């Protein structure tokens, strides 16, 4: 069991993007997401939640924030007390923020790298309006697992582990050393952390790169959706960052495509779900059992 103050799931991801119309088209035609388009703020939907991706018009084309859902108000207050006791500045979400996030309660804070965080309860659920993808495909794997996952860089691996694992109460699933098959020669490790049975909701490594966000992952319920989307990208000249392959640690069969903001999206199927009674932290020295070759 996770700690009482640990997030229940990664509920939503905020992105700061410069070309909202391009993102609207990409999200609908390539990713298969419903788009609630606005002039400066747009919502992308993939299940019963009113949104899972939040697009804000800006110039950074990078990660904007992570939104964690807590189990209930008591867990939200427990997290707030824990953060404040550790010296982390915490703010209550304003009425405008609650309306924009479509939640009943919200706190705001930052991780050691200055990445904006939000923890919430009471997200808007729209079961009376079932999700319908604008393209032919099955459903996304979300529910209690939450939004897929993100992989990002951090300023300090040690401080980030202390924050996400020791303070937020997430669990370390495993480590992957940089992959020699991709020409990475660093000794740095990538840490993968979970807050439910999804193998990881967040992964990070210590590095300074032009963008904080390396990729976010969307998991589909049918393996055919991965292949169909891969060739849809090929047909529509969407750059493939890494071709079809299967990961060693979470077993995901996936590929990586470039988004309109330059970072990647991993489109995958079949990831391992963690059994807390049997799982043990592992080390992998290669990221993929096969495939995931640069450029597809």
- Tell me, yes or no, whether 26 and 104 share the same domain: yes
Helix residue ranges per DSSP H, 27-153: 73-85, 95-101
pLDDT value of residue 296: 84
* Helix, coil or strand: residue 166: helix
Residue 82 inside a domain? The answer is yes
- Separation of alpha carbons 24 and 19, rounded Å: 9
- Tell me, yes or no, whether 71 and 168 share the same domain: no
Cβ count near 39 (within 10 Å): 7
Q: Domain count of the chain?
A: 2
Answer for the pair 109, 82: CB distance below 8 angstroms, yes or no.
no
pLDDT value of residue 286: 85
Residue 286 inside a domain? The answer is yes
pLDDT value of residue 8: 98
For 246, the token pair is 């299967």
pLDDT value of residue 1: 60
- Tell me, yes or no, whether 278 and 227 share the same domain: yes
- Tell me, yes or no, whether 161 and 260 share the same domain: yes
Strand order in the sheet with 53-57: 34-36, 41-45, 53-57, 9-17, 62-69, 116-121, 105-110, 91-92
For 244, the token pair is 């079809």
Residue 2 inside a domain? The answer is no
Residue 126 inside a domain? The answer is no
- Tell me, yes or no, whether 112 and 154 share the same domain: no
pLDDT value of residue 184: 52
pLDDT value of residue 189: 86
Residue 172 inside a domain? The answer is yes
The residue segments making up the domain with residue 98 are 9-121
- Tell me, yes or no, whether 179 and 259 share the same domain: yes
pLDDT value of residue 4: 82
pLDDT value of residue 178: 65
For 82, the token pair is 């824990």
Q: What is the pLDDT along the chain (296 residues), one digit of tens a residue?
A: 677 889 999 999 999 999 999 999 999 999 999 999 999 999 999 999 999 999 999 999 999 999 999 999 999 999 999 999 999 999 999 999 999 999 999 999 999 999 999 999 999 999 999 999 999 999 999 999 999 999 999 999 999 999 999 999 999 999 998 655 555 555 668 999 999 999 999 999 999 999 999 999 999 999 999 999 999 999 999 999 999 999 999 999 999 999 999 999 999 999 999 999 999 999 998 889 999 999 98
- Tell me, yes or no, whether 89 and 150 share the same domain: no
CATH code: domain of residue 285: 3.10.180.10
- Measuring CA to CA, how many Å separate 97 from each of 4, 91, 280? 25, 11, 39
- CA angle, 51 then 9 then 246, to 5°: 90
The secondary structure of 169-187, three-state, reads CCEEEEEECCCHHHCCCCC
- Tell me, yes or no, whether 22 and 116 share the same domain: yes
Identify the H or E element spanning 234. helix 223-235
Tell me the helices (H) and strands (E) count for the chain, helix number first: 5, 18
- Tell me, yes or no, whether 160 and 272 share the same domain: yes
For the entire predicted model, the pTM comes to 0.96
- Tell me, yes or no, whether 83 and 114 share the same domain: yes
The residue out of 58, 91, 121 marking a domain boundary is: 121
- Tell me, yes or no, whether 17 and 56 share the same domain: yes
- Tell me, yes or no, whether 153 and 101 share the same domain: no
């Amino acid at each position: 069991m996770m700690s009482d103050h640990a997030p229940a799931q990664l509920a939503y991801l905020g992105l700061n993007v410069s070309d909202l119309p391009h993102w609207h088209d990409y999200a609908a035609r390539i990713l298969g997401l419903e788009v609630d388009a606005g002039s400066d703020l747009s919502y992308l939907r993939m299940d019963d939640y009113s949104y899972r991706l939040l697009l804000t018009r800006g110039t950074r084309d990078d990660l904007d924030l992570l939104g964690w859902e807590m189990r209930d108000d008591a867990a939200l207050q427990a997290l707030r007390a824990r953060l404040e006791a550790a010296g982390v500045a915490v703010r209550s979400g304003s009425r405008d923020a609650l309306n924009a996030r479509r939640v009943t309660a919200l706190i705001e804070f930052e991780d050691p790298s200055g990445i904006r965080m939000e923890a919430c309860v009471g997200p808007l659920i729209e079961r009376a309006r079932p999700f319908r993808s604008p393209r032919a495909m099955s459903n996304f794997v979300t529910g209690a697992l939450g939004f897929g996952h993100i992989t990002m860089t951090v300023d300090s691996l040690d401080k980030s582990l202390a924050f996400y694992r020791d303070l937020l109460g997430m669990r370390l699933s495993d480590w992957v050393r940089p992959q020699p098959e991709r020409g990475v020669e660093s000794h740095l490790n990538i840490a993968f952390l979970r807050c439910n049975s999804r193998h990881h909701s967040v992964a990070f490594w210590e590095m300074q790169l032009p963008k904080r966000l390396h990729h976010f992952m969307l998991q589909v319920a049918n393996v055919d959706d991965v292949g169909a989307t891969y060739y849809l990208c090929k047909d529509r000249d969407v750059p493939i960052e890494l071709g079809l392959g299967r990961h060693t640690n979470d077993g995901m069969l996936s590929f990586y495509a470039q988004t309109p903001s330059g970072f990647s999206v991993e489109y995958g199927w079949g990831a391992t779900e963690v059994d807390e009674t049997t799982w043990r932290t592992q080390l992998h020295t290669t990221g993929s059992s096969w495939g995931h070759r640069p450029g597809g």
